[in-house]
Structure 1
Amino acid sequence: MRITTVSYRNKHHIAIQESDSCWAVSPQPANLGDALATGEVETLLEQSDSWSRAGLDELAFLAPIPYPRRNIICLGMNYAEHAEESLRAKGRELELPEYPVLFTKATTAVIGPYSDIVLDEQVTQQLDWEVELALIIGKGGRYIAKERAFDHIFGYTVVNDLSARDLQFRHKQFFLGKSMDGSCPMGPWITTADQLHDPHNLTVRSYVNDQLKQDGNTRDMVFRIPEIIATLANVMTLQAGDIIATGTPSGVGFARQPPEYLQPGDITRCYIEGLGEIANRIVSA
């Protein structure tokens, strides 16, 4: 199932894809994040046969979870080649992380799959791209064993973990450089876990102005999804609706020679096999 939040007749509704051109839309205004957090999503889906049908021209796609209740949890250096390029760019020797590198992005970073990304050059002049597979927690819990981790996943989506490298390196911690408003395009929908045979064998690509920048595969993750979930749940209670971005492959801008950064007018696209593609234009503040 592909499911998301849309704007329909100027209100937010949950929508389920029925065909390439037709979506079933919930009769009452709602968003998927709230439905997951309150445990109402299964009840809503049981009633979906009676929902209205709408064409693509009637819908505006929002982030599947447009207002996350908690920060987006992210992994850094979770692909070996990306870790190598990052450390090389900083003049350091390659040393893969022994444990997952974790940080968060503010909830206000989330925007829709086709929304404009506002670049305020007074804030950053080094805006970088990072395509990532994100998973959505469907059933919360603490002390989740690796063997049961997949039981807690509602589905998967595409995110662009946009990064202000000057802020990131200036402040040492990742949070500010990762948390600019609008720096987490997400979508275009959530593909439910039952539809994805193997999340560890997906092509992951990003483009800037149709030029391929990243070309990786999720099989190259240093820490795989069960270990990520178990590591987090050993420390904190995961909640339904939590978003976990699992890291990016090599090919980011700051590690290129010379470095490359996004500019107004650029269009960045992020694609993951089986999940779809998001596309966002960079615009001046």
Structure 2
Amino acid sequence: MKFVSYKYQSKVYCGILVDDMCYSFCDFLLEFTTMNEFLQNYSQEVLVRLKSGSNKAGISIDSVEILSPIISPLQDVLCVGVNYLEHAKESATFKGEKFETRDYPVYFSKRVDEMVSPFGEIPLNGDITNMLDYEVELGVILCKDIYKPSRDEVLDSIFGYTIINDISARDLQKRYKQFYFGKSLKGSCVMGPCIVSKDEFNNEIPSLDIQCYVNGELRQNSNTRNMIFKIDFMLYELSHAMKLKSGTILSTGTPSGVGMGFNPPRFLKGGDLVECKIEKIGSLKNFVSSI
């Protein structure tokens, strides 16, 4: 199933997308007004009700504005850095560092007050940064609290998958020697267009083609099987150190081909169109503002 948030006649709804028709949770007599609320109350009974279908007519996707499925995260987005080998190499080159393989993941978080919608505008933030960059990533959404779980409990906690564009200010990353500031500028996280529930992937962690285009030019092109550290390993490791809550978003790293990886670097500028695509999930298409 594909789970969406959308605006229709100036009101925000959340629910599911079936054959290009949007159905709100209230169409199934479910009183969830946000995706966070849905995830916090998720159960097999709820899923069965959704799968049974609605006796109400849906609204065409052409008549609504698709928003990020989770508009305002309850916590910072958890992120993994340099999780594809070739990106790790280009990152080291940009920083002027010697490339070395890592035995452990690079974890950090990203402050997001409100997600940029899948077709919304990415602010250039030109008064703060001159090196705005794109990063297509597979996002993982949790539907259960986990703390020191078994391996099976980790997999059971995954609700589904989405696309994230982890917008990054490279000059701020270099200046402050850590990721949080440069990753957390307002409007620096795009998510959507939906969350695809894990049952669409036979309840297994999928291997999906992942790509990013800038102004129609293919910049990033890989598959999620190429992650250095796998999703179940990262969730297991993190949740043995901290409690991960229902609604947690894990952004799993980006392949090579980001702007800083070119010589000379090719950072985003006003008017650029960035398209992030992941197989079986969809795409994000966002213009960059001029300011």
TM range (shorter): over 0.9
Deviation at 1:60, TM superposition (A): 0.9
Q: Please tell me whether residue 160 in structure 1 is matched to residue 165 in structure 2.
A: yes
Q: Which residue of 1 aligns with 2:144?
A: 139
Quick check: 1:108–1:179 contact (8 Å CA) kept in 2?
no
Quick check: 1:35–1:41 contact (8 Å CA) kept in 2?
no
Q: Which residue of 2 aligns with 1:93?
A: 98
Of 190, 194, 204 in structure 2, the residue corresponding to residue 189 of structure 1 is 194
Gaps of 5+ in 2: none
Of 57, 69, 77 in structure 2, the residue corresponding to residue 72 of structure 1 is 77
Distance 1:199 1:271, change over 3 A: farther
Q: Which residue of 2 aligns with 1:214?
A: 220
Q: Which residue of 1 aligns with 2:8?
A: 8
Quick check: 1:26–1:52 contact (8 Å CA) kept in 2?
no
Deviation at 1:34, TM superposition (A): 2.3
SS of the counterpart of 2:287?
A: strand
Of 167, 171, 176 in structure 1, the residue corresponding to residue 181 of structure 2 is 176
Structure 2 CA distance, aligned partners of 1:104 and 1:52?
A: 40
Structure 2 CA distance, aligned partners of 1:219 and 1:26?
A: 33
Of 249, 255, 264 in structure 2, the residue corresponding to residue 258 of structure 1 is 264
Cα RMSD for the two superposed structures: 1.8
Paired AA for residue 106 in structure 1: R
Pick which of 113-122 and 23-32 moved more.
23-32
- Show CA shifts across 1:205-226 (max 9, x none): 0000000000011111111011
What is the TM-score of this pair, normalised by structure 1?
Answer: 0.94
Of 116, 119, 144 in structure 1, the residue corresponding to residue 121 of structure 2 is 116
Of 250, 254, 259 in structure 2, the residue corresponding to residue 248 of structure 1 is 254
SS of the counterpart of 1:107?
A: coil
- Show CA shifts across 1:55-84 (max 9, x none): 123211111100110000000011111111
Paired AA for residue 227 in structure 2: M
**What percent of counterpart residues are identical?**
37
Quick check: 1:32–1:41 contact (8 Å CA) kept in 2?
no
| Number of positions where the alignment pairs a residue of Structure 1 with one of Structure 2 | 284
Quick check: 1:206–1:271 contact (8 Å CA) kept in 2?
yes
Structure 2 CA distance, aligned partners of 1:57 and 1:274?
A: 20
Deviation at 1:42, TM superposition (A): 5.4
Quick check: 2:87–2:256 contact (8 Å CA) kept in 1?
yes
Of 229, 232, 238 in structure 2, the residue corresponding to residue 223 of structure 1 is 229
Paired AA for residue 282 in structure 2: G
Quick check: 2:73–2:114 contact (8 Å CA) kept in 1?
no
Deviation at 1:273, TM superposition (A): 0.8
Structure 2 CA distance, aligned partners of 1:29 and 1:151?
A: 22
What is the TM-score of this pair, normalised by structure 2?
Answer: 0.92
SS of the counterpart of 1:119?
A: coil
Deviation at 1:174, TM superposition (A): 0.4
Quick check: 2:40–2:247 contact (8 Å CA) kept in 1?
yes
